[in-house]
Chains A and B, each alone.
Chain A
Amino acid sequence: MSVEMHKLSKTFNRQELALSEVDFTLRKGEVVGLVGPNGAGKTTLMKIISGIIVQYDGVLTFRGEGRSVGSLIEKPKYFPNKSGRYNIDYFHSLFGGDDEHFDEIIESLGMASYLKKKVKDYSLGMKQRLGIALALISNPDYLVLDEPTNGMDPDGIRHILGYLKRLAKEKGIGILISSHILEDIESMSDRVYVIKEGRIINEYARDQHDREVLELTFSEGDLHQALHVLEAYEGVTRSGQILSVPFAGDMKQVLKHLSQNDLFPIDVKRKKDTLEDFYFQNMESEAK
């Protein structure tokens, strides 16, 4: 049960290529992150899954039962002159779902205290929560959230992301979430797609989350030769003067190999390979 894109491209105004031959999969029950610079095509991809953009080349397929999508794209959408309660009621009765679901959403998003207020008088974070509530209210099979944590306080972000992650696992919803806050994406996603200039350039998998690397900093002069020596090891990446080698319990071999070639790093650090590292490595290698 999944939604899949195969060689999907989207051109705006006949010339601007916003997505280029994208292959993408979102399965039910998993949380997939989408990260990339401004204008990379994140929103466009999400609008296509949500059925808001319908003209594109390539194939979009929903496999298996259930193909409803709830979405929060860019800014939250609502009737501003009505109360939060009205808004939620409206879409709740439109898309069905039981009252228990309704109450659970309001409680989980911490909205109870300001439901009676007109939405135009909401704070940024309150509006954002309403947007998430409206995406959830239809009890969808897939949930598409485009920068959902905008304007929310740190406590709220942690709470709501935790709630969403639980929803994915407990109710088997497939969640696609984008954000420029890489830690948020890392903390909740099973996989993360890195997108740039309309292409998915890499994928960051859950098993990489716990991966550790040895970061070796070399002087300008040694850099080139060090890179050459380390080519023998798998997964070595470069970011400026830093070469990252996947940590494999015992690093003696690597260091010995370097010293045999008269190469000595000027700094050595052992650290977790974060999504942030992964992101910047990909951005840089693309720029080369």
Chain B
Amino acid sequence: MNVSQFFKLEIKRNLNLALFLSIGFAFLFGGAIVYSIYQMDGPFQPRNVSGLYAGIATVALGVYCSKIVIADLHYGTIYLLFTSARDRIVFLVSRVLVISIVSFMFGLGCAALLYVNHALNGQPFSAGDVGNAVLQYVLFGVFFTLLFQVISMVYQKVMQLLILSLVTILVLPGLLGIVFQVEAIPEFVKDFVAYAPIYSLPNQLPFLALDGMEMTLTAVVSLLLFVFAFKRLPKIDY
């Protein structure tokens, strides 16, 4: 398999109209807040702007994360792609690459919206916000893609995978949040949940509020998932 060709083709295949539409849609959604700040001079903050943007963006990005690992399983085209250990690794790397680019665009969309808010309403915005937005979106995309990739290696049912991935992003963080309301649960469990990327990412990303620790942990867990997939993928029957 020609690696650079594959990357090129996969990027082209995934940077499609649906992607730009969903970023545009998230932008409009967040834009509504920008507009109401403009009209009523408050009471919202930039965090509300990015939050509303994320309302659409995280779901869309989450769908992308599962789509890019499930699509070839669903079509069966992995039969044409998975014919050697090397090609399976190339496939894995391409998933990370493609979702990084897709997430980057979502992050850029978010930063652009914050900039519009700044220009229109004079609310705070700095160049650092661009880097921050992009970094956090990329972490989100890469982590969930690798998570779904690993799950899809254990469990190859396409429909269930798609539902599972949406539940993971939309429902699970809320469920995990219950942990914090129960007194009896020991402190270390609460810390564990709070820092688990599966909880912290969907909760903090909307406000671009992941702290250094959370980002580091997400990166480390993603790396572990990658290493696991790297070792396992060449040894799986399809």
Contacts and interface: CB of A to CB of B under 8 A. Distances in A.
- Asked if A and B bind, the verdict is yes
Interface of A: 47, 50-55, 68-69, 71, 73, 75, 77-80, 90-91, 93-96, 134
19 contacts: A47-B237, A50-B79, A52-B79, A52-B83, A54-B85, A54-B234, A54-B235, A55-B236, A68-B83, A73-B79, A77-B76, A77-B77, A77-B79, A77-B80, A94-B2, A94-B5, A94-B6, A94-B9, A95-B1
B146 to A, nearest CB: 21
Report the contact-size class of chain B (Cβ under 8 Å from the partner). Answer: 20 to 34
B5 A93 contact: yes
Contact of B83 (A51, A55, A75, A78): A51
A78 B75 contact: yes
B41 to A, nearest CB: 47
A50 B1 CA distance: 14
Contacts of A69: 83
Contacts of B9: 90, 93-94
Given A93-B2, A94-B6, A52 B77 contact: no
Given A50-B79, A71-B83, 4 more contacts: A50-B83, A93-B2, A94-B1, A134-B80
Nearest to B81: A94
B75 A79 contact: yes
A47 B238 CA distance: 8
A95 B85 CA distance: 15
A55 to B, nearest CB: 5
Interface in B47-96: 75-80, 82-85
A51 B87 CA distance: 11
A54 B5 contact: no
A54 B83 contact: no
8 pairs of A and B residues whose beta carbons are closest in the complex: A77-B76, A51-B83, A53-B237, A52-B238, A77-B79, A77-B77, A93-B5, A55-B237
